[in-house]
């Protein structure tokens, strides 16, 4: 049988790579970066064979011609490499990935999409860059749709996390598995609802999402300009409350939000906390340890890092 040895949840921002020099809250930025390093060291100490990497899509790996709610990579996986993130083929644990895809259908009733040639973007490769730096591990990439409504509900994401846990534990290959959830916390991107764009910038964005499969790089300069022109919209109070739930092993409380309520409270980018919720569920909602929280308006995002070590709960119970 296999075991889940650690969970890590962390925010991502490519502005760490491209605009570090323009970052004026350097103390906050350095604390967040240091927390990523601490989480990376915890992963190294846990000695995983494989990492289930749960992340979002920013329309550089999926486009509006096909948007599944959940997609698991079962063979080839290529990172798009935008904004200084890793580029090119990534190692996939094909045996475990195929087991998860099959087990979720046959035993848990989840009809996930799968890809034998998955392209990921910084929604996952940012974690590869900072949390898996120098670690010799294979991946099972799982992409969650958080930006192209209709989105999977928070409750459905939590249920999938629990089903993934059971599928991992049932795998006979004896894997040591870690889980990473990448995304969040509160932030608002200048992205339209693709069903109802307003104005030139929103029309441009939706056009990029519809037509960018073969030439997404051609849209990137203006995309970045639109994002850089946006005003920050953070909700540190919500972020702190959610992190407190995470620490208490009660992340499932966020399932009380509808998709619309979550966006109103914490921005469209907060939909990425689905990846944190799924990570918590895969760790059976063991209490987490908060490593950092830094509101970063110049990165448009509330940046958090937390670690879930199931051994710590076992020690407290004994």
Q: Which residues are catalytic?
A: 122, 187
* DSSP single-letter state for residue 150: S
Residue with tokens 């300069």: 221
Both tokens of residue 88?
């090119």
> What is the C-alpha separation between 143 and 119, in angstroms, rounded?
10
> Following CA atoms 248, 253, 255, 256 in sequence, which dihedral angle do they give, to the nearest 10 degrees?
-160
Task: Name 170's Cβ contacts closer than 8 Å, sequence gap at least 6.
Answer: 1, 2, 103, 107
Residue with tokens 């534990």: 169
Q: Which helix (H) or strand (E) segment is 282 a member of?
A: helix 273-282
Can you give the length of the chain in residues? 318
317 closest CA partner among 276, 284, 291, 292? 284
5 closest CA partner among 249, 179, 248, 251? 179
Q: Which residues of 63-81 are buried (b: 16+ CB within 10 A; e: fewer)?
A: bbeebbbbbbbbeebbbbe
């Amino acid at each position: 049988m296999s075991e889940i040895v650690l969970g890590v949840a962390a925010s991502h921002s490519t502005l760490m790579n491209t605009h570090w020099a323009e970052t004026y809250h350097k103390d906050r930025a350095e604390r967040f970066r240091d927390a990523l390093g601490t989480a990376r060291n915890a992963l190294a100490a846990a000695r995983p064979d494989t990492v289930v990497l749960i992340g979002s899509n920013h329309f550089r790996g999926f486009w509006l011609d096909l948007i599944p709610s959940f997609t698991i990579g079962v063979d080839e996986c290529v990172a798009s490499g935008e904004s200084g993130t890793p580029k090119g083929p990534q190692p996939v644990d094909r045996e475990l990935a195929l087991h998860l895809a099959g087990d979720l259908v046959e035993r848990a009733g989840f009809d996930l999409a799968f890809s034998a040639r998955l392209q990921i973007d910084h929604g996952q490769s940012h974690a590869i860059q900072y949390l898996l730096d120098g670690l010799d591990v294979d991946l099972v990439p799982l992409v969650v749709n958080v930006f192209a409504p209709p989105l999977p509900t928070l409750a459905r994401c939590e249920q999938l996390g629990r089903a993934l846990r059971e599928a991992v534990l049932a795998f006979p290959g004896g894997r040591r598995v870690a889980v990473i959830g990448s995304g969040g916390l509160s932030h608002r991107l200048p992205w339209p609802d693709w069903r109802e764009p307003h104005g030139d910038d929103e029309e441009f964005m939706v056009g990029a999402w519809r037509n960018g499969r073969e030439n997404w790089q051609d849209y990137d300069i203006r995309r970045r300009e639109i994002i850089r022109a946006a005003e920050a919209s953070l909700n540190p109070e919500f972020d702190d409350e959610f992190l407190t739930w995470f620490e208490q092993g009660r992340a499932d409380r966020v399932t009380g939000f509808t998709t619309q309520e979550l966006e109103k409270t914490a921005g469209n980018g907060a939909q990425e906390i689905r990846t944190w919720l799924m990570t918590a569920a895969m760790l059976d909602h063991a209490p987490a340890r908060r490593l950092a929280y830094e509101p970063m308006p110049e990165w448009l995002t509330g940046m958090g890092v937390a670690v879930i070590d199931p051994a710590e709960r076992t020690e407290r119970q004994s």
